[in-house]
Amino acid sequence: MMVSCTRRVMQDTCEKKHLLTLVTDLPSVTQDRAIALHELGMYRVADLIKHLPMRYETHHGGMTIEAAEALLGDQDAIPELVTIESTVIKVNPGWRRGKKSKVEAAVEDETGRMHINWFNQPWVARSLHPDMRIRLHGSLSIRKGLLQMNNPRWEEIKEDEPTLTIDSELRPVYPASERISSSVIATIIAEVLEGALPEIDDHLSQAMLDTLSMPTLSSAYAMCHKPEANDAVKEGRRRIAYDELLLLQLGVMMKRHHRLDTMRAPKLLWNDEIKQRIEARIPFTLTKSQQAVIEEIAGDITTTMPMNRLLQGDVGSGKTVVALHAMLMAVTCGSQAAMMAPTELLAEQHYKTITTLLDNSQVTTALLTSSLSPKERTEHIQKISDGTIDIIVGTHALLTDDVIFSNIAVAITDEQHRFGVQQRALLRNKSDDLHAIPHTLVMTATPIPRTLSLTVFGDLDVSTIKGMPPGRTPITTRLVQPEQADKVYMYMRELLDKGQQGYVVVPLVEETDSGLKSVTAHAASLRDGYLSGKSIGVVHGRMKSDEREETMQQFRSGKIDVLVATTVIEVGVDIANATMMIIEHADRFGLAQLHQLRGRVGRGLLPGVCALIASPTTDDAQHRLEAIVETTDGFQIAERDLEIRGPGELFGAKQSGIAPFKIARLPRDFDLLRLARRNAVEWIQRDPTLHNSPLLRARLMHIHGEALGLGDVA
């Protein structure tokens, strides 16, 4: 057995002799080029093959000037490079200033005339003379109605050379670097292509490819590297993009299957009696949407299949009470529940909300953050592990190794985009049962656009709270130039005079020489200036938490009129009497961040106002500010954010460690993504561990195994 295995491996290696060849062993790869290729992540021929062109150019063979002019008339997306044979009529040495120079020439053929410029190549003037026949190669442009070429390559046409035949060719343009050009990469790839292509095994069956009407992997790479026509390029890229999407979907579905099939969570109870008991504690009526979401959650956690659900709902939509329902379902069944928040401030806020709602009940609660004293911490941990505490609220301090629950049934994470995908669901139980995990609910106020929810977050079921609780007045948002700041602060003053409160948000804690406002300095200048006589408090992330809590308490009780703060107040602060927010240097903040910040006002019956003070200096900043002024709908804001920033940066996708797509682009390839998802779902149903497709499985593990934590699955 051993022997035959070894032989197979060796055979495989032999069969892949081209693909496995080191680039340093290729004749055309000099030492310099090797270094450059290594820098671009290419070590073997296989890496070269996977290095796909970023775009294509059409190169035209011999062409007349007249035809070239016509070509320019209907230029489409692909830049045209042409070769033209012509006769020099005039050479003008042009001008020269220091290192800069320009040589001009006029050329003609039987059909027309063209103007040529060579910049910074003064020697050209010496090599060219009238009546000389030259072949020019470069891209075309029009200037003052005359066809021209800038810096074309050129060579003299020998007497006996045949004229060029007219043809056109699509040439790949590769991602390159300063050390190595696209055309050198193209030459190297062209040399290895023929040997390597037949060695590429497909992980999809021919039958499946037929159904999908897609080419084999080998032909797809051929189509991309040796393009014959635009359509072929598209076909090749489509197959490779599909593969990228399919592999991620398979990984996600594999993990999902593993969770549902082999992991277990406590089966909790949900009935009218429990429902009424919880609702009796809530001082308002749940909206239809909140009720629907609670039923979805209840549907999950009344089974032993571990829930993995994302609860999205705009800022202020009322996610906390929904979470409380899930936690109380656990407590009713004698289990524990935990709620984890990204900041101490938010954890404190949640703790306060929860304890207020549970006032005079049997339910025991505790707050675990890193600002507890060692003694308090030890006590809390003890009570968590012996089951004395039912509901634990905390920060990531809950994730340390010594926090072990007696029997946790529900784990809730708030505002998960700050955690990144990986940090979820690490809360552990005392039991040794490796297959027992809690039900998990992740809450976010930054809705995840559909395209992304299917990829990085593809393992999550999504519940959405639509709309807001009744009685909210929409927030008015205005963009204000810094010169007009006085008007804004005067308006705030008027509101404060009426007994309302406000926030002023600045980017920095302490003064630097960046010219940006800081909490301390700005608070001082407001005390002496626009807001003199008003009580001004400060809050930022570098304060001790008891100090901060005290300030918050004073703000809550109305002793403080205005809170000058950094983005620490972005989440969780819930004070209905605060009606106005001024954000200084608003162009410095991200779109989701601005939306979150703005959500701190307009939380009561009084109308909310948000003034963004900024004079944006970049297009992106301008677009962000336009978006935030135009809409208060978090879902629209999330889509705009995706447009402005691109998917990579959002929602912890980067921190997730999931390999980025090389070819697939979202939202452009959304249809392909849906196809891949459908196929992956069916596939994993048939073959949950991809046992029957070892090559596919190996490639999947190689690319996503680690990031998706597929180790236990396989």
**In the complex, which residues of this chain contact ligand ADP (CB under 6 A)?**
284-287, 290, 313, 315-321, 445, 469, 574
* Nearest distance from C-beta of residue 16 to ligand ADP, angstroms: 54
Give the shortest CB-313-to-ligand ADP separation in angstroms: 5
d(Cα 347, Cα 323) in Å, to the nearest integer?
Answer: 14
Residue 487 CB partners (closer than 8 Å, separation 6+): 480
Residue among 294 and 560 whose Cβ is closer to ligand ADP? 294
Provide the strand spans (E) within 151-189.
153-156, 168-173
Closest distance of CB 638 from ligand ADP, Å: 15
Residue nearest to ligand ADP (CB): 318
Give the residue with the Cβ less far from ligand ADP, 444 or 566: 444
Nearer to ligand ADP, 65 or 460 (CB): 460
Q: How far is CA 144 from CA 113, 133, 603, in A?
A: 13, 25, 61
Label the pairing between strands 308-313 and 461-465. Answer: parallel
- Nearest Cα neighbor of 220 from 50, 13, 22, 44 is 50
**Residue found under tokens 């200084």:** 584
Which residues have a Cβ under 8 Å from the Cβ of 676 and sit 6 or more positions away? 242, 245, 246, 248, 249
d(CA 82, CA 699): 42
174: three-class secondary structure by DSSP: coil
Distance CA 370, CA 393 (A): 12
Q: Which is nearer to ligand ADP, 312 or 455 (CB)?
A: 312
Tell the smallest beta-carbon distance from residue 387 to ligand ADP (Å). 27
CB of 577 to ligand ADP, least distance (A): 12
Asked whether 420 and 656 are in contact (CB, 8 A), the reply is yes
Q: How far is the CB of 639 from ligand ADP (least distance, A)?
A: 19
- CB nearer ligand ADP, residue 300 or residue 314: 314
Contact (Cβ atoms closer than 8 angstroms) between residue 134 and residue 113: no
Of residues 101 and 596, the one with the C-beta less far from ligand ADP:
596
CA distance 358 to 684: 44
Give the separation between CA 140 and CA 72, rounded to whole angstroms.
7
* Closest separation in Å from C-beta 318 to ligand ADP: 3
Could you tell me if 254 and 690 are in contact, meaning their C-beta atoms sit under 8 angstroms apart? yes
Note whether 664 and 455 are within 8 A (CB).
no
Residue nearer to ligand ADP on the CB measure, 95 or 284: 284
Minimum distance, C-beta of residue 461 to ligand ADP, in the bound complex (Å): 18
Of 509 and 606, CB closest to ligand ADP: 606
Q: What is the spatial distance between Cα 563 and Cα 553, in angstroms, rounded to a whole number? A: 11
Nearer to ligand ADP, 251 or 316 (CB): 316
**Tokens found for residue 273:** 């009696």
Instruction: Give the residue with the Cβ less far from ligand ADP, 197 or 637.
Output: 637
Buried b (16+ CB within 10 A) or exposed e, 219-231: bbbbbbbbbeeee
Kindly tell me which of 187 and 285 has the beta carbon lying closer to ligand ADP. Answer: 285
Nearer to ligand ADP, 437 or 445 (CB): 445
- Which residue number, 325 or 517, has a Cβ lying nearer to ligand ADP? 325
Closest Cα partner for 584 from 507, 532, 483? Answer: 507
CA 323 from chain centre, in angstroms, equals 26
The first and second tokens of residue 640, run together, are 């705009």
Q: How far is the CB of 599 from ligand ADP (least distance, A)?
A: 7
CB of 289 to ligand ADP, least distance (A): 9
CA-based max dimension of the chain:
104
Query: C-beta of 272: minimal distance to ligand ADP in Å?
Result: 19
Name the residue among 174, 223, 250, 243 with its Cα closest to residue 669: 243
Q: Which is nearer to ligand ADP, 290 or 455 (CB)?
A: 290
CA distances from 202 to 12, 194, 421, 606, 666 (A): 14, 17, 31, 63, 25
Write the CA distances from 344 to 295, 383, 412, integer angstroms. 30, 21, 16
**DSSP result, 272-320:** HHHHHHHHTT-SSPPPHHHHHHHHHHHHHHTSSSPPEEEEEE-TTS-HH
Residue with Cβ nearer ligand ADP (79 or 469): 469
Instruction: Label residues 638-677 b or e (16+ Cβ within 10 Å = b).
Output: bbbbbebbebeebbbbeebebeebebbebeebeebbebbb
Phi then psi dihedrals of residue 654, to 5 deg = -70, -50
Min dist CB 206 to ligand ADP, Å, is 51
* CB of 629 vs ligand ADP, minimal distance in Å: 21
Peptide bond connecting 93 to the previous residue in cis, omega within 30 degrees of 0: no
Question: Least distance from C-beta 319 to ligand ADP, angstroms?
Answer: 3
From the CB of 294, what's the least distance to ligand ADP, in Å?
A: 11
